[in-house]
């Protein structure tokens, strides 16, 4: 009788899933049924085979992006500051990052596992102590993220180069910044904390050098260091 058909058929748990889920799993349906039967018979555990699919959601996978807003304070002179005047400034940054590689061990060391990220950055700064004025420009950066599986904490280091415009050079009584266009070099180390899968808070220790490479008569240059905090969104 038709009424006894359901009771006599031993269906695997996968068959009890809602129809929309089954439609998404049609390409893997046959394999899933076989794996289910093998598990009942003491066959190999296939749960590890799903690890790769979960990893595809890693925000640091190649081709991913992030946008970061950050701000902080930098203080100079640092490193060879003898005879240089004080020039401190508050800075805000907006950065867009591209994941250039997926996470993998570096130099075959799992504790150095990570990925490379390229960033485009625009920034603006206001002098808080020293010759009054502003600085603003853009930079290109290369960042290495130290990515461990399932960790919410992701340290990183980065280097960058760019250019900026300023009006500090108008103060003729100082020789630190001597032209309206200057080059900038940055080196930073930071730490992210993921509070969701897409959002992370970050802090950085920053070092920045500003110079016009002797293209102007005044070029003592700026060596500044400080700290930055911000928030990033991955997509």
Question: Is the same domain home to 26 and 106?
Answer: no
CATH of the domain at 118: 2.40.160.20
Q: What is the DSSP letter of 60?
A: T
* Number of compact structural domains in the chain: 2
225 Rama class: left (phi>0) / alpha (psi -120 to 50) / beta: beta
In whole angstroms, give the CA distance from residue 144 to residue 113.
10
Same domain for 191 and 122: yes
Predicted pLDDT at 34? 42
Per-residue pLDDT of 197-217, as tens digits, reads: 999 999 999 999 999 999 999
pLDDT in tens, 163-196: 999 999 999 888 899 999 999 999 999 999 999 9
Is the per-residue pLDDT at 234 higher than 90?
Answer: yes
Alpha carbon 59 to its chain centroid, in Å, reads 9
Residues 6+ apart with CB under 8 A from 89: 73, 74, 125, 126, 127, 128, 135, 224
Do 34 and 142 share a domain, yes or no? no
27/98 same-domain check: no
Q: Are residues 89 and 14 in the same domain?
A: no
Tokens of 212: 């016009």
What residue numbers bound the domain in which 38 lies?
Answer: 2-53
Question: Domain check: are 37 and 64 in the same one?
Answer: no
In a shared domain, residues 80 and 12: no
Pair (192, 88) in one structural domain: yes
What is the C-alpha separation between 23 and 36, in angstroms, rounded? Answer: 18
Do residues 106 and 154 both lie within one domain? yes
């Amino acid at each position: 009788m038709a009424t006894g058909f359901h009771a006599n058929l031993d269906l695997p748990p996968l068959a009890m899933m809602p129809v929309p889920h089954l439609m998404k799993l049609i390409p893997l349906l046959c394999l899933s049924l076989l794996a289910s039967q093998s598990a009942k018979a003491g066959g190999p555990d296939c749960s590890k085979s799903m690890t790769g699919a979960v990893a595809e959601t890693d925000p640091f996978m190649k081709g991913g992006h992030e946008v970061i807003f950050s701000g902080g304070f930098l203080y100079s002179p640092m490193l060879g500051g003898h005879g240089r005047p004080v020039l401190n400034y508050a800075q805000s940054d907006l950065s867009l990052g591209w994941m250039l590689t997926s996470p993998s061990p570096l130099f075959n060391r799992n504790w150095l596992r990570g990925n490379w990220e390229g960033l485009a950055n625009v920034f603006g700064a206001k002098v808080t102590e020293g010759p009054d004025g502003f600085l603003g420009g853009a930079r290109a950066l290369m960042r290495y993220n130290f990515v461990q599986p399932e960790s919410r904490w992701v340290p990183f280091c980065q280097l960058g180069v760019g250019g900026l415009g300023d009006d500090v050079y108008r103060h003729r009584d100082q020789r630190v910044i001597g032209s309206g266009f200057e080059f900038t070099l940055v080196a930073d180390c930071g730490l992210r904390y993921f509070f969701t899968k897409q959002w992370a808070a970050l802090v950085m220790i920053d070092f920045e050098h500003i110079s016009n490479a002797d293209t102007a008569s005044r070029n003592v240059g700026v060596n500044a260091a400080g700290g930055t905090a911000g928030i990033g969104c991955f997509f």
